[in-house]
A and B are shown apart, each in its own frame.
Chain A
Amino acid sequence: MYFSVLLYPCILGMLSLVHAIPVHPDSLKNLVKLQADTIILRIKDHNEKLKLSPKLLIGDPELYPEVPANKPIQGLGSIVETLSTFHKVLQRLPKGHVSQIRNDLFTLLGYLKDRMTSMRCTLKEPANERSLDAFLENNATHHITFGFLALDRLKQFMQKLIVNLDHLKSC
């Protein structure tokens, strides 16, 4: 009886300790890489299903700057900011569209935000949000090409993220 009384607080204490231990950077890198690779493959599958003509070039890189095309990675803050933008873009797609990729991206964003919190990084407010809203407002009705463009740029960012995993160590 006394043993149980002592045991429970110990277990609870250990659990809370475990919860407080931040994810090891290498573990995070592995997780991010796995998740990013998964997203890349899902995007490839999705865009291949559309069977768009390979001659089509939807959205020059200089067009639609609201969706980050080639944004530099300068640490966790910039990664989270860019991923938040992509998440917002994907959320504007109609119900049921790319829902799995959206979930994957949300999971990845959650990992990185947790990491930022544990590193006491300041979460940046997304820039040009109003402009992004306007872009979404105007274009989300053309959800196929809109999604294709957004996913293509997200894929590029994921590829860049995979080769810049060391930036996860800095804010």
Chain B
Amino acid sequence: MTRFIMLALLVNFITISQGLAALSPSDGRGGVYEDLKWKALLCCELPFAQTLDGGLSEHPPVGQCQLLNATKPEFSKNCLDILCWLEGERTNLICNAKSYRAAAAASLLTIRPQLVVQMNVLSDETNHAAQCAGEEIAMCSISLHGNDANVSLTISISLNETTAVSPKMQVSTHHLRRPDPPVNLHYNVTIEGEVIFRWSDTQPDGYAINYEIRYSSNSSLQQWEMVKVKGRSWVTLNDLSSGIRYMVQVRCQSHFNYWSEWSQPFYFTLDVSYIPAEVFTTPGSEITVSAVFHNRSWRASKAVWMLNGQEKIPESQYRVINEQVSAVTVTVDEPGFDTLMCCHQWGERFKCIIAYAKIYTEGMFNADITCQSKNSEVDTMSCEWNKSAWAQVRLLYRQYTSMCETISEIEGSEEAEESMSLVKECPSGAGDHRECTLRNLSLFSCYKIWLEVEGGRGKVRSFPVYVLPIDCVKPSSPTVLEATTLPNKTLSVSWRRPHLPVYDMQYELRFVALRGMANTQWKVIGPLLEPQAEIQLEESCVQFEVDVRCRRLNGSGYWSDWSTSYTSVVYNRKAPEMGPDFWRIIQEDPVRSVTNVTLIIKQPVLAGDPYSCVEGLVFEHQASGRAVWSNETTLVQFHSFQWRKEAHTVTVISRNTLGISTRNRNITLLHQPKRRVVHSFSVVANASCVYLSWSLLSNHPVPQSFVIEWLDLNKDPEQDMSLTNRLQWVRVQSTSRDLSLCRRFYGSEEFTLYPVFVDGEGEPVRYTATRGDPAAYILLLIIAFLSVVLFVTLLISQNQMRKLMWKDVPNPNNCSWAKGMDFRQIDTMENLFPHSEGLTACPLLLVSESICEVEIIEKPHPVTLEHVKENEVLIYNSGDKTTTNSTLLADSSDPLSLEASTAAPTPETSGQSSVTYSTVLLSGQPSLHRKQQESLSSSSDEGNFSGNNSDISGSFPGGLWDLENHVCSDSANPRHSSSYNSVEEFSETSDQDYEASESTGVAKDLYYLEVNEEEKEEDEEEIEETQGEWEKNEMVMRVDARPLLEEKDSTAVDTNNISHSIPLYLPQFRTECINPP
């Protein structure tokens, strides 16, 4: 039996191998595809072997097999029903061969010899084979690995050692399944606004014959719209609304009438469609893009086209195709990538959607690619570029082994196609990135670097740059930096250059002093060719922060970063000699109930010797009853600690690497009452300086020193100005008692003087220096100056007015009432005014129409003048005599004399004017004359117009007012009488007239200055000249109105015969007298 089977197998394999060569894979004859199965009927004739009785023959008999199209088997033969189908998703092909004898035997229950069925299956594509055998039935499975395949099938049957082999059968698995649904669903929009929906077949050409399309809005998936299409893979979809998301599916039907499954859904929303959506053009060419508004409420007439979302395209370039379609024509001049957006006007704004048309303009654009390489363990090169925000680019580069100049010349002359296999893309050069770092590159290779716009078919790219990385190296910073500040005011710096790149380097050095951190102004020195430098300084003992950087000496390259900062070491030969001077601020903290002490160190801290610089400070504390402790700091300006109100001594010590100072200053803080030693303390300030002076109480020990501190009160303490910053102080030697501080003061500083003793501080004394604003002083000066100017102006104007007023004073000799009168005689006056009561009782009124002229004839009275002189001396120089004389004068009711006596002690008062009128001009004493003239020339004028200046200076309008209101008032009132006696008011004579009108009554003759018409026109100088001439001739104009105003017998002067000699001034007025009732 076994031998039999072996033989059968051998036959089968030989048959199969022959069949593979003879049959084409598509040959599927002998079977039919039906209901996703392949079916065939195989019938074989098996000659009955006669060897059962007669013994075995040498060759077993061979039967014949035939595939029948008939569905019913021939019962005379041994027939097999063959069935093949797919299991799963093209995973396996299963074939089953079943003998009809088996079925019959089962029904007839007859015992017959068994039919052995053997099936061989072979996949042509994968060369997988399967073999199976069985009695009356056989089932084989072959793996397809998900692919379609043509499978060969052979069956052999054996019965009683008789074998028959079937012809080779071919099964295509492609026909055993449903067709795949269409793919690549998409749509186009025509210029008319039609939506054309398209798809692609996955089947061989012509396999699908019918299609069905269904679509629905996203919200109502149950209501499908169905469209049937025959023979084409597109369809026009109508009646679609804008703004609605549609889902579309397609399925296809094969030749075997199998319908595929529905395709994957395709979603789309119609809003604005661009035709074309992408444009490829060349610089300068016109392009036209149309936009279809699917939204019916959007009108083409209101379309707004935007270039790159930034610039509105002029409306003159628009064209309305129809109500829903707008077109624009633009010309792009520069290569690159641009976009066109069609929006809809909505008030002042433009409503737009996401979609836009893309324009690729072929050519090369400038991307400003710059590269900087770094030479280190891994050589790198970072490149940066510019690009439009809209363009999606990638950075490409290629490495060459030739020189960059050669390559650029070659590539510039011919448009060589880039061998893309040599081109690399920077992995991080896409998207928003505008820089990319290439790693592991060769510094001495030439690199071509350029940008390429994605979607531009390789024809839209930037101008390439050819870079030799060694030419754009940014070296590493110099290292091992060392700097020393030397005593000879030199800063010595050395450093080590980076090993790579190997070319020669140049260096730049910068340094800044650490003293006074506010001043961070770096000083730069370079280029330096050696890795060391010596810098001359303005002062020694200063620490510096030093940086160095480097770059290529000859050729292109970049500066390295500045090296790590290094603080210079100060060279010292010995320890500092003395500690710094310092002062303290004591601040109470009421919240924490502690007292904080801040020490302010005088800056700069000097050690006294350039070879012993101070590098830091040591604060040594010693509190009563406690141990000594210390804090070591750098060169700080402040040092704070808490004070427990016990005796606390702080010593500040300078230090450097070689030791600490030995001569140090200390301070002792005491809580006990302080001794008082300062007697006085004053502060005087001027524009730029403050002068302080003080004195000490006697019998007190002299302090060790004084400290003067002050606060800058003009600065706002709320701001960052802490007390330590606002407080300023200065130490003064114990022998000093004053100090001049010249600096900027604000004028509101409070100065405090602290006497400092060895064992603590004395009681401080405070004084606030106040100084007004300088502007106020200037303002005051201006006001004073203006006052003087005003005063002078008033004087001049008064003088002018007086001239105008008295220009036309008439000569009384020309008056009708004075005809025949001799005005030189006092009797004449008495005759002229016989009723003196009326005259004295009534003020004079100016009668403008009376024009009189009086001629005054000179008559010298030397004796009288001497008497006047004596009288004057009495008035001015002798207090007792003055009193006597005043009494005398008062008795005589002479107001002028009275005023003179009272005004004499205070010459600034209005009494000065009184003096004027009581002074006598002596021609024989010119000095006195001049003195009085100088001192009184102004006051006499002032007296005329100033109401409060003199009793005799009542102004003319005042006189009128007086007349109206005090008509015929008491004649004894000296003020009234004197008011109208003023010579100045009624005469244009000079001041000498007033002097001449001395009220002593010495002169007896009456003079009047005759002024001719020509002289009236002369100025004041000429008058003075005239006066000079009169003085030579001892001519004195004496004017005194008193006799005119007094009662004839009422004065004591009259009794001593003096009154008769008084020269009288004859008033040129006609008065109306209203006698009191």
Contacts and interface: CB of A to CB of B under 8 A. Distances in A.
B360 interface: no
Interface string A51-70: 11101111110011000000
A120 interface: no
B310 A145 contact: no
A23 interface: no
Interface in B335-357: 339, 341, 343, 346, 348-356
B296 to A, nearest CB: 16
B306 interface: yes
Given A56-B306, A94-B430, A131 B245 contact: yes
Could you say which interface size class chain A belongs to? 35 or more
A22 to B, nearest CB: 36
A55 B354 contact: no
Nearest to B345: A55
B255 interface: no
B496 interface: no
Most buried by B among A49, A51, A55, A58: A55
A64 B243 CA distance: 9
A51 B388 CA distance: 10
B306 A59 contact: no
A50 B431 contact: no
B27 interface: no
Contacts of A56: 306, 309, 341, 343, 349-350, 352
A51 B350 CA distance: 15
A144 interface: yes
Given A56-B349, A60-B351, A145-B309, A134 B245 contact: yes
Most buried by B among A53, A99, A135: A53
Contacts of A63: 243, 271, 353
B378 interface: no
B310 A142 contact: no
Contacts of B254: none
A130 interface: yes
Contacts of B355: 139, 142, 145
Contact of B350 (A57, A135, A138, A143): A57
Most buried by A among B265, B267, B271: B267
B356 A138 contact: no
Contacts of B312: 53
B392 to A, nearest CB: 5
Contacts of B218: 131
Contacts of A57: 343, 346, 349-352
B350 A96 contact: no
B746 to A, nearest CB: 45
Nearest to B269: A138
A78 to B, nearest CB: 22
B310 A99 contact: no
A125 interface: no
Nearest to A54: B349
Interface string B417-461: 000000000001111110000000000000000000010000000
A63 B243 CA distance: 7
A44 interface: no
Nearest to A128: B218
Contact of A144 (B268, B309, B311, B433): B309
Most buried by B among A58, A133, A149: A58
A137 B267 contact: yes
A131 B219 CA distance: 11
Contacts of B430: 94-96
Interface in B400-419: none
Most buried by A among B247, B346, B351, B429: B351
A50 B354 contact: no
A98 interface: yes
A167 B840 CA distance: 112
Interface in A60-115: 60, 63-64, 93-99
B833 interface: no
Contacts of A53: 306, 309-312, 350
A96 B433 contact: yes
A66 B308 CA distance: 25
Contacts, number: 102
A64 to B, nearest CB: 7
Contacts of B271: 63
Given A59-B353, A142-B356, A144-B339, A134 B431 contact: no
Contacts of B356: 142, 144-145
Contacts of A153: none
B503 interface: no
Contacts of B339: 144
Given A50-B309, A134-B267, A142-B356, A55 B349 contact: yes
A157 interface: no
Interface string A15-58: 00000000000000000000000000000001001111101111
Nearest to A140: B354
Nearest to A49: B389
B691 interface: no
Given A96-B431, A145-B356, A51 B389 contact: yes
B887 to A, nearest CB: 102
B390 interface: yes
A93 to B, nearest CB: 8
B310 A52 contact: yes
Contacts of B389: 49-51, 144
A97 B454 CA distance: 14
Contacts of A138: 267-269
Contacts of B392: 94, 97, 143
Interface string A121-159: 000000000110111011100111110010000000000
A50 B245 CA distance: 29
Interface in B273-307: 306
A90 to B, nearest CB: 12
Contacts of A94: 392, 430-431, 454
Given A96-B433, A134-B267, A149 B354 contact: yes
B306 A64 contact: no
Contact of B354 (A52, A98, A99, A142): A142
B310 A59 contact: no
B354 A145 contact: yes
B270 to A, nearest CB: 11
B367 to A, nearest CB: 16
A135 B243 CA distance: 12
Contacts of A93: 431
Contacts of B428: 96
A13 B433 CA distance: 44
Contact of A146 (B243, B343, B354): B354
Given A53-B309, A138-B267, A145-B354, A99 B431 contact: yes
Contacts of B245: 131, 134-135
A48 to B, nearest CB: 10
Contacts of B243: 63
A93 B430 CA distance: 12
Given A138-B267, A145-B354, 18 more contacts: A46-B432, A51-B310, A55-B348, A56-B309, A57-B352, A59-B353, A94-B392, A96-B428, A96-B430, A96-B431, A97-B431, A99-B431, A130-B265, A137-B267, A139-B354, A145-B341, A145-B352, A146-B354
25 contacts: A46-B432, A51-B309, A52-B309, A53-B309, A53-B310, A55-B349, A56-B341, A56-B352, A57-B350, A60-B351, A94-B431, A95-B430, A96-B430, A96-B433, A134-B268, A135-B245, A138-B268, A139-B354, A142-B354, A142-B355, A144-B339, A144-B389, A145-B341, A145-B354, A146-B354
Interface of B: 218, 243, 245, 247, 265-269, 271, 306, 309-312, 339, 341, 343, 346, 348-356, 389-390, 392, 428-433, 454
Interface of A: 46, 49-53, 55-60, 63-64, 93-99, 130-131, 133-135, 137-139, 142-146, 149
Closest 10 CB pairs of A and B: A96-B431, A134-B267, A96-B430, A97-B431, A52-B309, A145-B354, A139-B354, A50-B389, A55-B349, A95-B430
